[in-house]
A = this chain, B = another copy of it.
């Protein structure tokens, strides 16, 4: 949840970490924060019993923290990460992550995200929108966000993706949201943004992977349709799932009504996933996510 603090001038630190499970990790980390003057605001932890991995997200107020912000990561790495074989990331909530949106022709997910962004609900910057079609330029213009049309076909894919990557680099983009972007991204591109590209697929994965899931759902005669947001990996529709939801349908529905009903699912499921990502609440391990709330 990304309810923006308006009054508080404080900066918080957010630590996401995982390591082989062993007794005492929580005590060690909370002790590090406490003895250095940090005030823990949230602590969530999870143990994957099968993999024997410990996951934690801890957020603390830095007001009276005695270690300078730019030294915390070093200190933590030196004192603990090596000793406990931790992988960790440290974030500060006074930095707004920078997000690019990729779209094609459907506007519902784009509108939903821009409405939240404009209302100040998300701690994020959206410096640009990229599309392989000009159709949604009018939406971008309504919200005063630069819209780049970069059409892609089999022949020009490599060079056009190079154009996109240059745009992302120039705009210092931290992560990318594919908001019903109907174009497969190359492995080379994906590997530059590992666990940093969020896609919305219009089915309850792993059912109906690939193209035209609503047609496939109609054919199969299912009684529920779904949507799935996930990080993009090089294997199509097979990346770590962040969020899923479904809506009940019936024999009365046609493919058209499935498409239409699915849109509300898609936009809500995608926005929930993007929000979790912005709020640094997702850990990825072996193609699965730990999503704290």
B142 touches A119 (CB 8 A): no
A27 partner, pick from B34, B119, B246, B288, beta carbons under 8 A = B34
From DSSP, what is the main secondary structure of chain A's interface residues? mixed
Bound CA–CA A115/B256 (angstroms): 19
CB of A143 closer than 8 Å to a CB of B: yes
Task: Tell me which residues across on chain B come within 8 A of A107, comparing CB atoms.
Answer: 115, 118-119
Bound CA–CA A2/B226 (angstroms): 20
Task: Tell me which residues across on chain B come within 8 A of A226, comparing CB atoms.
Answer: 204, 224
CB of A50 closer than 8 Å to a CB of B: yes
A204 partner, pick from B24, B31, B207, beta carbons under 8 A = B207
CB of A293 closer than 8 Å to a CB of B: yes
A206 touches B224 (CB 8 A): no
* Proximity bits, A31-58, B CB within 8 Å = 1, else 0: 1001000011011011111100001000
B34 touches A257 (CB 8 A): no
Task: Tell me which residues across on chain B come within 8 A of A111, comparing CB atoms.
Answer: 111-112, 115, 118-119
B46 touches A252 (CB 8 A): yes
B206 touches A204 (CB 8 A): no
A62 to chain B, nearest CB (A): 14
A163 to chain B, nearest CB (A): 28
Q: Return the chain B residue nearest A58 by Cβ.
A: B26
CB of A221 closer than 8 Å to a CB of B: yes
Q: Which residues of A contact B (CB under 8 A)?
A: 1-3, 23-24, 26-27, 30-31, 34, 39-40, 42-43, 45-50, 55, 107-108, 111-112, 115-116, 118-119, 121, 139, 142-143, 204-208, 220-224, 226, 240-246, 248, 250-252, 254, 256-257, 259-261, 264, 268, 271, 287-291, 293
A243 to chain B, nearest CB (A): 6
B251 touches A290 (CB 8 A): yes
Task: Tell me which residues across on chain B come within 8 A of A241, comparing CB atoms.
Answer: 220-223
A52 to chain B, nearest CB (A): 13
Task: Tell me which residues across on chain B come within 8 A of A271, comparing CB atoms.
Answer: 264
A224 partner, pick from B240, B246, B291, beta carbons under 8 A = B246
B251 touches A222 (CB 8 A): no
Given the contacts A30-B27, A40-B23, A261-B1, A240 and B221 also touching, CB distance less than 8 Å: yes
The 22 sampled A-B contact pairs (Cβ below 8 Å) are A24-B31, A26-B26, A26-B40, A27-B30, A27-B34, A43-B45, A49-B254, A107-B118, A108-B115, A118-B139, A121-B260, A205-B222, A206-B207, A206-B220, A221-B287, A222-B241, A223-B291, A248-B248, A250-B291, A251-B289, A251-B290, A268-B268
